Amino acid sequence: MTMTIPGWVRRSVSIGLRLLVGVVLLVIIFARTDLRAVGAAARQIAPGFALLAVGVMLLVGLVTAGKWWVLLRALAIEVRFLEVIRLTYIAVTWNLALPGGESGNLVKAALLARRQPAQAGPIWASMLVDQFSLSGAQLLVALITLSLASFPPQGLAIWLLGIGLGIALVLALYAAFLVPIAPARVDAFLGRVSRALAVPAWLRRRLDGGGRTTSQDAPSATELAARETIYQPGEWLAPIWRGLTNFRGHSSALLLAVGIAVLYYATIFLAYWLAALGLGLPFSYPDIAWVTALAGIAALLPITIAGAGVREGIIVFFLAQRGVSTATALTFSLAVLALNIILGLPGLWIQIFRRPVT
């Protein structure tokens, strides 16, 4: 007789393991650092630069909300910009609690798809393209700042090659749904796979809260009819694929989203650079940008919660190569973490006190 492990147990074990990995990495870093020196460095940060860094960081949510809104409008998904801002800040908050650096985007897509179930496929597709634009922009900014850096890392050619391969992979992902290669065969194949992977009825009832819905969340008869006439109940792959292919002919929206994503990371790195100046680190904007960009890319690996331990280790490693003391480098990495937590505070407040914008 085969024993089935409940889903909540598997999720709990997975979260526990990621927490453990993050704690172990942080313990290793802290064990090699004079914590009194870290406290002394933190007390020396210039208040003016600290306040500027916080102010710039709080604008980041508005920038990335504009990016997602552009993609939603390209697919004719009707949603107010204020609601997109609300969902974006909620996603930023969840970035602090979920594995990887941008996993909170799953939350914002799920919340909007639950309110507009007939548009669930395109909404999830917009989230995926949003993530593609973020990945491409982060790699592009890393490539540019590495090229302009006054102290590039050792083995610069290898780093540039790796980033170039990453950009090529992102472009290949775009091409996969934008270039119509044998579309009828691809659609037929994905349709069969989608039906095979359809979410069973019992799980759909659990995801919908046991079948209980409010009048606000319940789909209308028209929405239900639209779903059932195109897809079987529980299908998810085919609707998402159809949403992705709907971006064909919207190259201007896709390019604009990438441009906004570049602005998003440029704004984040500006906040980090201001924090570095506040700590007296004598590095240029490109230098701080490439260090934190590579740390951010490494933090996307889903091995810890919110990249904790991975990000700090990468920052300390690269700054130590340029003669920065471990204590000061760790203080800067903790300042980066603090700025990310501050960015998540509006989303926490929205979830607790604010209702959706209708």
| 125-165 confidence digits (pLDDT tens) | 999 999 999 999 999 999 999 999 888 888 889 989 999 99
264 vs 68: CA distance, rounded Å: 12
284 vs 263: CA distance, rounded Å: 18
Contacts with 191 (C-beta within 8 Å, 6 or more apart), sequence order: 238
Dihedral sign for Cα atoms in the order 40, 45, 47, 51: negative
pLDDT of residue 353: 75
Beta carbons within 10 angstroms of residue 213's beta carbon: 13
Q: Tell me if the pTM is above 0.95.
A: no
The 3-state DSSP class for residue 133 equals helix
Q: Contact at 8 Å (CB) between 197 and 162?
A: no
Angstrom distances, CA of residue 114 to CA of 49, 84, 109, 123, 213:
41, 14, 8, 10, 10
Beta carbons within 10 angstroms of residue 349's beta carbon: 12
**Number of DSSP helices (H) and strands (E) in the chain, helices first:** 16, 0
The 3-state DSSP class for residue 191 equals helix
pLDDT of residue 211: 44
Residue 187 lies in a domain: no
pLDDT of residue 332: 93
99 vs 15: CA distance, rounded Å: 8
Rounded to 10 degrees, the C-alpha dihedral 163/308/290/345 comes to: 120
Give me 252's structure tokens: 């201007």
Residue 109 lies in a domain: yes
pLDDT of residue 208: 56
Give the amino acid at 327.
Answer: A
In the chain, the number of structural domains is 1
Residue 271 lies in a domain: yes
Q: Contact at 8 Å (CB) between 113 and 292?
A: no
Beta bridge partners of residue 99, listed in sequence order:
305
Beta carbons within 10 angstroms of residue 67's beta carbon: 25
Q: Contact at 8 Å (CB) between 306 and 101?
A: yes
254 vs 14: CA distance, rounded Å: 35
Could you tell me which of 229, 232, 239, 244 has the C-alpha nearest to residue 195?
A: 232
Domain hosting residue 126, numbered range: 32-180+248-353
Low-confidence residues in the chain, pLDDT < 50: 1, 203, 210-229, 358
Q: Contact at 8 Å (CB) between 340 and 93?
A: no
Give me 187's structure tokens: 């659609």
pLDDT of residue 155: 86
33 vs 324: CA distance, rounded Å: 12
Could you tell me which of 82, 74, 86 has the C-alpha nearest to residue 119?
A: 74
Residue 150 lies in a domain: yes
pLDDT of residue 304: 75
